[in-house]
């Protein structure tokens, strides 16, 4: 990866934190998918085959169905609050979802509530995963200049796929060797928490700070005109 040699220390740190977080985000997202056969028996009713299939499909597809909402919501957050808060929030959301799933009682213990909670967690995972990958790529695009940014973004996209492959490997070990599946989610949650705290070290992007200052000046000018229409050039 010769393109890393042209990056500054701060840029390398940004690529490292965001790459690791994106890899982990999609590891956590796909972990449930690859263990769906096992987890469906844990969280969904067994007596009614049709109901079980309906809830299992809902939990599986909800993460994809709500991804556009994630893009819309985190697009607003990124433009209004900042690029850095976006990538911290997405990792935190994924960590919380994994913690809830790892500690969630089974259907045999709390009934249909387990199915609803795991479905809500999958919705949050879908929303956060979409905000994660787009937010990370925008952050890097506003931090690293052309043409170096192109291989960096490609590298990020590769890590998205590798996160799913790693989840498949862990799911294989869990289902084949009888390992407690909750440990896999605890592992993902722990690393996500560490990643979220590490990302707090990142600085806001220069592009966002520039646009924020411009927006604040415009808002100040508009407020001055409203308070003093004559002096501000109004009629």
State both tokens at 167. Answer: 């989840």
Closest CA to 126 of 34, 28, 57: 28
Alpha-carbon gap, residue 162 to 157, rounded angstroms: 9
Sort residue 205 into left (φ over 0), alpha (ψ -120 to 50) or beta: beta
Alpha-carbon gap, residue 6 to 152, rounded angstroms: 11
Alpha-carbon gap, residue 135 to 129, rounded angstroms: 10
Q: What is the largest CA-CA distance in the chain?
A: 79
Which letter does DSSP use for residue 44 in this model?
Answer: S
Confidence (pTM): 0.84
Decide: 152 and 22 in contact? Cβ < 8 Å: no
Cβ neighbour number for residue 22 with a 10 Å cutoff: 27
- Residue by residue, pLDDT tens for the chain (235 residues) are 566 777 888 888 889 889 988 998 899 989 988 888 788 889 887 766 777 677 767 777 888 888 889 889 999 999 889 999 999 999 999 999 999 999 999 999 999 899 889 989 999 999 998 899 899 999 999 999 888 888 999 999 899 899 999 999 999 999 888 899 999 999 989 988 988 888 888 899 988 888 888 888 877 877 777 776 655 554 4
| Cis before 182? omega within 30 | no
């Amino acid at each position: 990866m010769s393109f890393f040699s042209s990056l500054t220390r701060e840029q390398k740190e940004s690529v490292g934190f965001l790459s690791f977080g994106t890899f982990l985000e999609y590891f956590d997202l796909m972990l449930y998918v690859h263990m769906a056969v096992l987890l469906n028996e844990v969280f969904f009713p067994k007596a009614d085959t049709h109901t079980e299939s309906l809830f299992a499909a809902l939990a599986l597809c909800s993460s994809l169905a709500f991804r556009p909402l994630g893009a819309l919501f985190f697009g607003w957050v990124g433009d209004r609050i900042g690029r850095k808060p976006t990538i911290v929030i997405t990792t935190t959301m994924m960590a919380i979802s994994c913690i809830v799933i790892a500690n969630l009682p089974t259907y045999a213990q709390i009934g249909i509530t387990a199915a609803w909670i795991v479905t809500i967690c999958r919705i949050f995972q879908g929303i956060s995963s979409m905000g994660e990958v787009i937010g990370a790529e925008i952050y890097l695009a506003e931090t690293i200049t052309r043409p170096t940014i192109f291989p960096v973004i490609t590298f990020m996209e590769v890590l998205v796929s590798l996160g799913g492959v790693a989840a498949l490997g862990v799911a294989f070990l869990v289902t084949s060797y009888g390992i407690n599946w909750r440990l896999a989610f605890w592992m993902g949650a722990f690393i996500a928490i560490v990643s979220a705290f590490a990302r707090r070290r990142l600085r806001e992007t220069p592009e966002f700070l520039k646009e924020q200052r411009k927006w604040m000046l415009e808002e100040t000018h508009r407020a001055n005109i409203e308070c003093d229409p004559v002096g501000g050039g109004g009629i």
